[in-house]
Amino acid sequence: MKLVVGLGNPGASYARNRHNIGFMAVDAIAAAHGFGPWRSKFQGQIAEGRLGPEKVLLLKPGTYMNLSGDSVQAAVQFYKLEPGDVIVLHDELDLPSGRIRVKTGGGTAGHNGIRSIGAHVGPDFTRVRIGIGHPGDKRLVTNHVLGDFAKAEAEDLAALLDGIADGAPALAAGDHPGFLNAVARRLSPPKPPKPPRAPEPVAPPVAEEDADPRSPLQKLIDRFR
């Protein structure tokens, strides 16, 4: 069994924040793969289903970001999971918007949700780092992270979430390249082949004008003279 955690802050006022891209991602997975309804458990919201042959529990912690580990630990202990069974999807300031990286273990990069989970279950879980871009000035980071995605970003955001949902079975199976390829196909779909060029029209042959002005009858008469 895999525990797939999306990080975010609970409440309608945070729903479209960049910091809530993890919530958006697991919502997209649940909708695309026919998971059961969301219900309250483990200090959060859970939905159960399958990704390929793998039984999967989706979790959205309801504890606010900096206490996400409380919710994750409760699910891990209940199902007797190992850190390697846990996959966490979260926002990443250090990646441009729309970029995704997957890694297992490592540091927290200052992410409060990742820090909390690591403190509760150890560092050896898989992280799906979803880029939200950096505003370019440290003083603007809080407003950027807790700000909503702009309307101009809506199309790219939808393609990104569709790609995450497409690749979720590969992610659950540990096929990280397969997961990333599925996302890339949504973000940069192959261009349709160009239609073959129509052949250039060829002018019909023009009969050469007969240089002899005589009519066919006159030619016949002259032949027997």
Which residue ranges form the domains of the chain, and what is each CATH number?
Answer: 2-187 (3.40.50.1470)
Reading phi first (left if > 0) and then psi (alpha if -120 to 50, else beta), residue 35 is in beta
Predicted confidence at residue 199, as pLDDT, reads 74
The pair of three-digit structure tokens given for residue 17, joined into one six-digit string: 């924040």
Catalytic residues: 19
Predicted confidence at residue 157, as pLDDT, reads 95
Mean local confidence (pLDDT), 157-165: 97
CA distances from 75 to 4, 111, 171, 172, 180 (A): 11, 21, 19, 17, 27
Predicted confidence at residue 197, as pLDDT, reads 77
Report the DSSP pairing between strands 54-61 and 44-51.
antiparallel
Mean local confidence (pLDDT), 52-74: 96
Predicted confidence at residue 188, as pLDDT, reads 86
The model's pTM: 0.83
Are 7 and 87 in contact, with CB atoms under 8 Å apart?
no
